[in-house]
């Protein structure tokens, strides 16, 4: 998918109050941008990091600039947590995720438990329904390992239980991690930052929930799902 244009490059000064980021553009202009990411953004909010911000002059916006990408160790990282669902929707429509191909109906935001909506419900007359949850991942602390979550994620842990419940009913359920980075080649749940979620992911997989992890191709113009990378359930397998 194409990223919003025009984009401008600069350097991150600070990210604060969760949804604000101060950036100095390459021409010296200081701007305050909307930061579309409520998470901890570990390693992605340090002063001096390269940053790409998009500009939208719509007068209804409080801030015309939006932080879209940061540069870390020579690579680009997408920080917009609104993009993964859009990326997956685009890939599903193009039948570009082999593990999720062949469904005749793709419906977003379908209620499937008390107070929960699944990101996508995939259906076909001759196949069990597939309940698909999507999570954004951009944490990298160790080598080429991508991790989720970057802070306590109680709601995400509940979603794992909801998926397992659908499997118990005879349906298919998939947890898909979209890794908005270009420098990772395997994935693990972050035991240190949220042991409850990590244990929940292992339990869900044991109950039949499929775990898929896809990284992204990223440029200042576009971002798209790229390739499947392996999930390592045991954090001791890092390397």
139-191 pLDDT tens trace: 999 899 999 999 999 999 999 999 999 999 999 999 999 999 999 999 999 99
Contacts of 140 (CB under 8 A, 6+ apart): 43, 72, 146, 147, 181, 183, 184
The burial class, CB within 10 Å (0-12 / 13-18 / 19+), for 62 is exposed
Q: Which residue has the tokens 């954004």?
A: 136
Q: The sheet that has 186-189: what strands, in order across it?
A: 139-142, 145-148, 186-189
Rg (C-alpha) for the chain, rounded Å, is: 18
The pLDDT of residue 234 is above 90: no
Question: What does the pLDDT read at residue 76?
Answer: 96
Question: What does the pLDDT read at residue 114?
Answer: 76
13-62 pLDDT tens trace: 999 999 999 999 999 999 999 999 999 999 999 999 999 999 999 999 99
Task: Report residue 236's pLDDT band, with 50, 70 and 90 as the boundaries.
Answer: very low
Query: Encoding tokens for residue 182?
Result: 């270009």
Query: Encoding tokens for residue 174?
Result: 């998939």
- pTM (2 d.p.): 0.94
The pLDDT of residue 235 is above 90: no
Percentages helix, strand, coil for the chain (3-state, rounded to 5) are 20, 45, 35
Phi, psi at residue 83, to the nearest 5°?
A: -80, -40
Phi, psi at residue 11, to the nearest 5°?
A: -125, 135
Question: What does the pLDDT read at residue 70?
Answer: 98
Do 43 and 82 meet the contact criterion of CB atoms below 8 Å apart?
Answer: no
Question: What does the pLDDT read at residue 127?
Answer: 96
Domains of the chain by start residue, with CATH: 7-77 (2.40.50.580), 83-237 (3.40.1350.60)
201-230 pLDDT tens trace: 999 999 999 999 999 999 999 999 999 999
Question: What does the pLDDT read at residue 112?
Answer: 84
């Amino acid at each position: 998918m194409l990223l919003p244009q025009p984009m401008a490059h600069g350097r991150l000064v600070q990210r604060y109050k969760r949804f604000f980021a101060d950036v100095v553009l390459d021409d010296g202009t200081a701007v305050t941008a909307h930061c579309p990411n409520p998470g901890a953004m570990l390693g992605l909010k340090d002063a001096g990091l390269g940053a790409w911000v998009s500009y939208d002059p719509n007068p209804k916006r409080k801030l015309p600039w939006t932080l879209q990408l940061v540069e870390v160790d020579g690579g680009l990282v997408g920080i917009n947590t609104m993009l993964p669902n859009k990326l997956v929707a685009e890939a599903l429509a193009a039948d570009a995720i082999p593990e999720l191909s062949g469904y005749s109906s793709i419906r977003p935001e379908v209620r499937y438990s008390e107070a929960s909506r699944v990101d996508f419900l995939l259906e076909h007359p001759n196949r069990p329904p597939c309940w698909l949850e999507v999570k954004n991942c951009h944490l990298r602390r160790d080598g080429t390992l991508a991790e989720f979550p970057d802070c306590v994620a109680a709601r995400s842990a509940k979603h794992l239980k909801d998926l397992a419940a659908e499997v118990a009913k005879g349906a298919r359920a998939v947890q898909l991690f979209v890794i908005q980075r270009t420098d990772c080649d395997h994935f693990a749940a972050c035991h240190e930052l949220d042991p409850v979620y990590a244990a929940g992911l292992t339990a869900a997989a044991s109950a039949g929930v499929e775990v898929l992890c896809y990284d992204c191709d990223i440029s200042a113009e576009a971002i798209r799902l790229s390739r499947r990378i392996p999930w390592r359930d045991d954090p001791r397998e890092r390397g």
